[in-house]
Structure 1
């Protein structure tokens, strides 16, 4: 059993991962988010809620007491600052294992017409801070796994394949449930994919853009 800190615990993928962790594992969960009132605790015996901001190193360090694994489901214009503060807090607290949600395209690894479409959609304010945040994580001494999902859907399926840091990205889309499953598997076996960056897509979704566009 591990003690897991979920940063950005009200995010859609985080809520799916929380549900799966509660139903299939015995891990203890600490749910960290800016507005605690948004979250309804499902299992008080296994969940603790902390209201805090991921741009606050002191709040992060306090939340890291007794934690084995950090799963960061963060994301906004401050993502690079959040990455810097998560790394700093984990270093101060002596916690090493980090699972970090990013996005596809941060290495210009998406080929062909879909890669061009992806750049057209994400360049100019979205992709750049995610790229910078990933570099912060990769330049740290943490045992990190970066997860780069394809374009996300709410399909009720778990179906995915994985590419690695220097591979061309595959596919165009993936379900949030699939990304949650990747997260749970990494929490269950944190020795997997350390200091790696995983592209995650649903098989057989190649094309010029996701099916829902």
Structure 2
């Protein structure tokens, strides 16, 4: 049993991961989000909801006490600042393991027409900020895993394959349920993919763009 801090706990992937963690593990969960009224504990014996801002290092430090693993499901134009705050707080408290959700394309690793389409859709503030945040994480001393999902669907399916940093990205899409499942596997096997950046896609979804576009 480990103690897990979920940052951005009201996110869609985070909620799916929370559900799987409650159903399939005995881990204790701290659910961290800006507005605690938006989220209720599913199991008061195993969960605690904490209100806070991830750019506030003092709030993070308080939430991090006793935590074994941090799973960050964050977003926003200030994602680089959030990354800096998370790294600082984790270093201060002495928590090492971080699972960080990023996005495909931050290394210009998406090939072909899909790569061109991905740039057209995400350039101009999104890819740049997520790439900057990833650099903050990778330049830290933390035992991080950067997760780079393909374009996300709400399909009720768990089916995925992975690529490593330096390899061409595969596929065009992946379900949020698959990413949540991958996160849970990393939590259950914390040494897996340590200090790696991992692309995640649904097999056999190659194409010029995701099927839902």
- Give the TM-score normalised by structure 1: 1.00
Residue-by-residue CA offset, 1:115-153 (whole Å, 9 max, x unaligned): 000000000011100000000000000000000000000
Contact kept, 8 Å, 2:69 with 2:98, in 1: the verdict is yes
Q: Distance in 1 between matches of 2:109 and 2:145?
A: 17
Q: Distance in 1 between matches of 2:167 and 2:177?
A: 23
Aligned to 2:114, what secondary structure does the other structure show? helix
Stretches of 4+ aligned residues off by more than 6 angstroms = none
User: Residues 176-195 of structure 1: matches in 2 within 5 Å?
Assistant: 176-195=176-195
Residue-by-residue CA offset, 1:87-135 (whole Å, 9 max, x unaligned): 0000000000000000000000000000000000000011100000000
- Give the TM-score normalised by structure 2: 1.00
Please state how far the C-alpha of 1:40 moved relative to its aligned partner.
Answer: 1.6
Aligned to 1:13, what secondary structure does the other structure show? helix
Q: Name structure 2 gaps, 5 residues minimum.
A: none
Aligned to 1:98: 98
Task: Establish whether residue 39 from structure 1 lines up as the match of residue 39 from structure 2.
Answer: yes
Q: Distance in 2 between matches of 1:11 and 1:47?
A: 16
Aligned to 2:10: 10
Q: Distance in 1 between matches of 2:66 and 2:173?
A: 36
User: CA RMSD, aligned part only?
Assistant: 0.3
Q: Name structure 1 gaps, 5 residues minimum.
A: none
Q: Distance in 2 between matches of 1:68 and 1:146?
A: 17
